[in-house]
Structure 1
Amino acid sequence: MKDLLGLMGKAKEMQAKFQAMQEEIAGIEATGQAGGGLVGVTLTGKFEMKSIKIDPSLFKEEEVEILEDLLLAAHNDAKAKIEAIMQEKTRDLTAGLPIPPGMKLPF
């Protein structure tokens, strides 16, 4: 019975830590770039787009497809940065826990 109470206490502690980590992640931002910095996209930790920066030299009618591709690339770059930060914070929080590799925690 003592082990069960200890386990429940640890589960509550982990839940509180995960909640704090989620709040911390929600507050982070990452900026992805494409085209050598001609296009930038900033995302929050919740993957919400906060800003877009586009170099005026890209505002040419014949380069619309290039601009669209650069926006997608910048967004994906920012998303990858946010995911890497989330993965690092999760790894730090779960260090030492017997969690199977590849298991995604609920975020």
Structure 2
Amino acid sequence: MLDFMGLMKQAQAMQAKMAEMQAELDQVVVEGEAGGGLVKVTMTAKGALQRVAIDPSLLKPEDSDIIEDLVVTAHAQARAKADEAVAEKMKAVTGGLQLPPGMKLPF
């Protein structure tokens, strides 16, 4: 028979670590860039956009479509970095336990 109480304690400890990790992710800041650094996006690992920086050389009305595409690309890069930061934090919290694809904690 499994040690049910021990299993419950482990689950509670993991839940506490998850809450701590969520708070830490608000403090993790990542940056994405596009166009060789002409457009930069800064955001938290939880996805909160903090800053968009556009090099003044791009600010020409006829280039607005390009600027919009570069902002989207920079944001996508920052989001990918945020996802990596979350995955690293999750690995530390779960002790390397691999969750099935698509399954996220907390449930």
Q: What is the TM-score normalised by the length of structure 1?
A: 0.89
After alignment, is 27-36 or 87-96 more displaced?
87-96
Provide the C-alpha distance between the structure 1 equivalents of 2:46 and 2:99, rounded to a whole number of angstroms. Answer: 25
- Cα distance in structure 1, aligned partners of 2:9 and 2:99: 22
- Aligned-partner residue type, residue 16 of structure 2: A
- Aligned counterpart, 2:67: 67
- Please name the residue that 2:38 is paired with: 38
- The within-5 A match list for 1:1-107 is 3-97=3-97, 99-102=98-101, 103-106=103-106
User: Please, which runs of 5 or more residues in structure 2 have no aligned partner?
Assistant: none
Amino acid at match of 1:72: V
1:100 CA drift (Å) = 4.2
Asked if the contact 2:18–2:106 (Cα under 8 Å) also holds between the matched residues in 1, the reply is no
- CA distance in 2 between counterparts of 1:37 and 1:2 reads 55
Change (3 A) 1:41 1:91: same
How many residues were matched structurally?
106
Q: CA deviation at 1:2?
A: 7.8
Shift of 1:3: 1.1
Counterparts of 1:11 and 1:88, CA distance in 2? 20
| Pair 30,100 (structure 1): closer, same or farther in 2 beyond 3 Å | closer
Identity over aligned pairs, percent: 48
- What CA RMSD, in Å, does the superposition of the two structures yield over aligned residues? 1.8
Partners of 1:85 and 1:56 lie apart in 2 by: 31
Q: Which runs of 5+ in 1 are unaligned?
A: none
State TM-score, norm by structure 2: 0.89
